Homo-oligomer: A and B are copies of this chain.
Amino acid sequence: MEKLYGGMEGGGTKFVCAVGTGPDEIIDQTRFATTSPEETLEQAIAFFKKHDIQAIGLAPFGPLDLNPASPTYGHISATPKPGWSNADILGPFRRQFNLPLAFDLDVNAAAFGEYHWLPENRSLDSLVYFTIGTGIGAGILINGQVVHGLTHPEAGHMRLPHDRQKDPFPGSCPFHADCFEGLANGPAIGQRWGQPADTLPPDHPAWDLEANYIALAVANVIYTLSPQRIVLGGGVMEQLQLFPLIRRKVHEILNDYIVSPTVTGSMQAYIVPPGLGKRSGILGAMALAKNSIRS
């Protein structure tokens, strides 16, 4: 029998836990509301206790302390989510399971999931996964490894050109006003146009403006990292009409400066929706679990 791995994707609204061998075989799955850290983690632990698993991958929302040498390794850092600042995520699992435990940011897990489970991505040296929803973030894979660095990437907060004559919206980010996230997350779209983003029709001008900001961020990541594929996931990217708009605008911004058929062509295989659909995060958490045994 193939080995079973557990994965936990911990979001600000809900937690998802799953057990299985990979994308083709999930033998059990549960989801529950994010309440207090104690109650939420207890539910996750109770779920995994029911199964004979080899390792668990924990992928909560951030910011996280990912430095194994730090006394607060495995904790969430300062977060606006009430009750969750400095919450110890890894500790309760360490006390309950004598198993390899992987720990990484939700968007890093999603990036790793897209890389690990999809043959078309496994051959790449580098891949960037953006989640664009209530928050914006990016996970970066280089040579098969998730990039952490000093803390972990927070690419949603990069600064972009903002033409206030064309778009007077001041931005929704409490830290930076009109950073990428402040201009382009779901709440920014809703506030700018006076109705929830997912109620705007596909031909609404909101999407052209949204594609503009996403294309600027994607172009900046192409310039900075030269990744071999860029995956765009998250709630906002369920608006699939964004993809052709973003590809066209990235072309315009790059202006043929990067000479590679991958970016000078249609970019249909370069700027792509998640191959795992909405399951990148939870399957990524399972991939981190699997990887923690091999490494």
Known: A147-B142, A150-B228, A224-B224. A63 touches B259 (CB 8 A): yes
A181 smallest CB distance to B (angstroms): 10
Residues of B within 8 A of A216 (CB): 159
Contact between A176 and B257 (Cβ–Cβ < 8 Å)? yes
Contact between B220 and A158 (Cβ–Cβ < 8 Å)? yes
Contact between B176 and A255 (Cβ–Cβ < 8 Å)? yes
- CB-CB contacts below 8 Å: A75-134 with B: 77-78, 125-126
- CB-CB contacts below 8 Å: A5-52 with B: none
Contact between B125 and A225 (Cβ–Cβ < 8 Å)? no
Q: A251 at the A/B interface (Cβ < 8 Å)?
A: no
Contact between A175 and B226 (Cβ–Cβ < 8 Å)? no
Residues of B within 8 A of A219 (CB): 158-159
Q: A160 at the A/B interface (Cβ < 8 Å)?
A: yes
Q: A151 at the A/B interface (Cβ < 8 Å)?
A: yes
Residues of B within 8 A of A158 (CB): 219-220, 223-224
CA separation between A162 and B226, bound complex, in Å?
23
Contact between A149 and B228 (Cβ–Cβ < 8 Å)? yes
Contact between B147 and A225 (Cβ–Cβ < 8 Å)? yes
Contact between A153 and B255 (Cβ–Cβ < 8 Å)? no
Residue in B closest to A263 when the chains form the complex, CB atoms: B150
Interface of A is mostly: loop
A140 smallest CB distance to B (angstroms): 7
Q: Which of B154, B227, B255, B260 contacts A223 (CB 8 A)?
A: B154
Number of interface residues of A (CB under 8 A): 48
Residues of B within 8 A of A223 (CB): 153-158
Q: A258 at the A/B interface (Cβ < 8 Å)?
A: yes
Contact between A227 and B149 (Cβ–Cβ < 8 Å)? yes
Residue in B closest to A142 when the chains form the complex, CB atoms: B142
Q: A191 at the A/B interface (Cβ < 8 Å)?
A: no
Q: A262 at the A/B interface (Cβ < 8 Å)?
A: yes
A244-271 contact mask (Cβ, 8 Å, vs B): 1 or 0? 0000000001011111101100000000
Residue in B closest to A164 when the chains form the complex, CB atoms: B163
Residue pairs across A and B with Cβ atoms less than 8 A apart, 29 shown, are A77-B259, A126-B149, A140-B225, A142-B149, A143-B145, A148-B226, A150-B227, A150-B228, A150-B258, A150-B263, A151-B226, A151-B258, A151-B259, A151-B260, A153-B225, A153-B226, A154-B257, A155-B223, A155-B224, A156-B223, A157-B223, A157-B257, A158-B219, A158-B220, A159-B160, A159-B220, A160-B160, A161-B161, A176-B253
